[in-house]
Chain A
Amino acid sequence: MSASQSAVRSRAEAVKVSRTFDWLICFTLFFVILGGYHVHFMLVAGDWDFWSDWKDRRLWVTVLPIMGITFPAAVQAVLWWRYRIAFGATLCVLGLLFGEWVNRYFNFWGWTYFPINFVFPSQLIPGAIVLDVVLLLSNSMQLTAVVGGLGFGLLFYPGNWPMMAPLHLPVEYNGMMMTLADLSGYHYVRTGMPEYIRMVEKGTLRTFGKDVAPVSAFFSGFVSIIVYFVWHFFGRWFGNTAFTKGS
């Protein structure tokens, strides 16, 4: 190819071509990252995310932010550090929520007939916005990991509280005390996922009474910091442009 030749015929065409590529890139990135993030998230945190009777004060609060901060950290490592695009975390989380909502509506409700208020996905947007804003304001990976990562863990429970609060109300049913979410679970039997494999309210955190959720959130924030660091470097590796040697 000749260096003197131009690929476009005018500056206007160059701008138009550049904008068109932006749209193609955005569309592709959104859906490919959505696919990878969703398959990761559903298989390491999914059960707590699928069903409202799994959304407890301990493992749901602990596991989801830790597993959720992975892809946002990796994508930020490329979108911010190479292109100064400051919405990497939010892009990931919006993609994940898009995939989840479509699924919960068309499949959890549309194919297996669970009510939406039993299968809605968890909310991760507040934490993602904090991650992006801290990175934008600080331009520091360390600060984003420590402040943003901690915020990602701490904000998860309060961010979900408006949706979950009514389902955590106590109810007495046949002489037993349970939550409304538990009651929904008993009525909508999942034959392939029996009660003995449900990991809800396990452990002795309840010893501290009212502090169960805050302690879980704090622990989650701590691990999220570490996971952010690790996945930032994963993201850098995935963004490399190396080639194998040609013949």
Chain B
Amino acid sequence: MAATTESVKADAAEAPLLNKRNLIFAVALYCVFYAWVRWYEGVYGWSAGMDSFAPEFETYWMNFLYIEFVLEVSTAGILWGYLWKTRDRKVMSITPREELRRHFTHWTWLVCYGVAIYFGASYFTEQDGTWHQTIVRDTDFTPSHVIEFYLSYPVYIITGGAAFLYAKTRLPTYQQGNSIQYMVATVGPFMILPNVGLNEWGHTFWFMEELFVAPLHYGFVFFGWSALGVLGVLNIEVAALAKLLKKDLA
């Protein structure tokens, strides 16, 4: 019990409802990190990413892949483990103001999820189209895939998992069970990563070219739809916030 968070700390009332510094720092962190990643792609994609049998490919791309695997597993383990370990065991007895503060923190996580989803599903996925329609692939671990599948997707999975865990462990709204649409909005996009197995099998087995509308890619489409689960989360949150603010806004 020692590691769990006590419901109401003495100084909690004095903390700001929304920690804007954390919000801005988190969004900036994703943007600066991905700007660096995009710079790395630009420099080492053409110079070291064309031939997977070349020594420089091992140096600049396979080592990048190994390092990101280790960092992602470590980050997920530490972050998710921390959120679970420090869960509030008296979550149903927190004050309304503390609950409001936690909703703000929860939305900070959801904003981060939005940014991470954007970079993963939009920026690096369409980027994959232009790279593979231009370059002939000779490996599953192309420069585009090392970033798209094995970096940007795990990053949004880790972020989405953290948002879900935060809500589940700290907000009374989510104690009645598991929100189906919250699970859809986090597990669905997660399933895009295992679907990479189908993608790589198909591209290796029978289709080395890149046609983005090929049926081989429809698994990504199906799981991409699940992002709409955020609409259910929105409805749950609006109802919870209305309950907290209604009499003051009336």
Q: Which residues of chain A have a CB within 8 Å of any CB of chain B?
A: 1-2, 5-8, 10-11, 13-15, 17-18, 20-21, 24-25, 27-40, 42-48, 50, 71, 74-75, 78, 82-83, 99-100, 102-103, 106-108, 110-112, 114, 119, 190-194, 197, 234-235, 238-246
B209 neighbours in A (Cβ, 8 Å) = 192-194, 197
B23 — nearest CB in chain A belongs to which residue? A24
Least CB distance, A80 to chain B, in whole angstroms = 12
- Whether the pair A111, B184 counts as a contact (CB closer than 8 A) is no
8 Å CB interface, B201-230 against A: 209-213, 217-218, 220-221, 224-230
Q: Which of B118, B123, B245 contacts A8 (CB 8 A)?
A: B245
Interface size class of B (residues with CB under 8 A): 35 or more
- Contact indicator per residue, chain B 51-91, by CB within 8 Å of chain A (1) or not (0): 00000000000000000000000000000000000000000
- Assuming the A-B contacts A7-B100, A30-B114, A106-B38, are A38 and B228 also in contact, with contact meaning beta carbons closer than 8 angstroms in the complex? no
- Whether the pair A75, B231 counts as a contact (CB closer than 8 A) is yes
- Assuming the A-B contacts A1-B92, A234-B228, A238-B229, are A43 and B235 also in contact, with contact meaning beta carbons closer than 8 angstroms in the complex? no
- Contact indicator per residue, chain B 110-135, by CB within 8 Å of chain A (1) or not (0): 11011101101111011101111111
- Assuming the A-B contacts A11-B249, A47-B211, are A32 and B113 also in contact, with contact meaning beta carbons closer than 8 angstroms in the complex? yes
CA distance A88 to B73 in the complex (A): 37
- Whether the pair A241, B235 counts as a contact (CB closer than 8 A) is yes
- Whether the pair A35, B231 counts as a contact (CB closer than 8 A) is no
Total CB contacts across the A-B interface at under 8 A: 248
Q: Which of B38, B110, B121, B231 contacts A39 (CB 8 A)?
A: B121
- Whether the pair B220, A43 counts as a contact (CB closer than 8 A) is yes
28 contacts between A and B (CB under 8 A): A1-B96, A1-B99, A6-B247, A14-B249, A17-B100, A24-B110, A25-B237, A28-B110, A32-B113, A35-B121, A35-B227, A38-B121, A39-B227, A43-B213, A43-B220, A46-B213, A48-B213, A50-B130, A99-B118, A99-B122, A106-B123, A108-B130, A190-B133, A192-B209, A197-B211, A240-B181, A241-B235, A246-B175
- Contact indicator per residue, chain B 161-173, by CB within 8 Å of chain A (1) or not (0): 0000000000010
**B24 interfacial contact with A, CB 8 Å:** no
8 Å CB interface, B225-250 against A: 225-232, 234-239, 241, 244-245, 247-249
A44 neighbours in B (Cβ, 8 Å) = 213, 218, 221
Least CB distance, A87 to chain B, in whole angstroms = 15
Secondary structure class of chain A's binding surface, majority of residues: helix
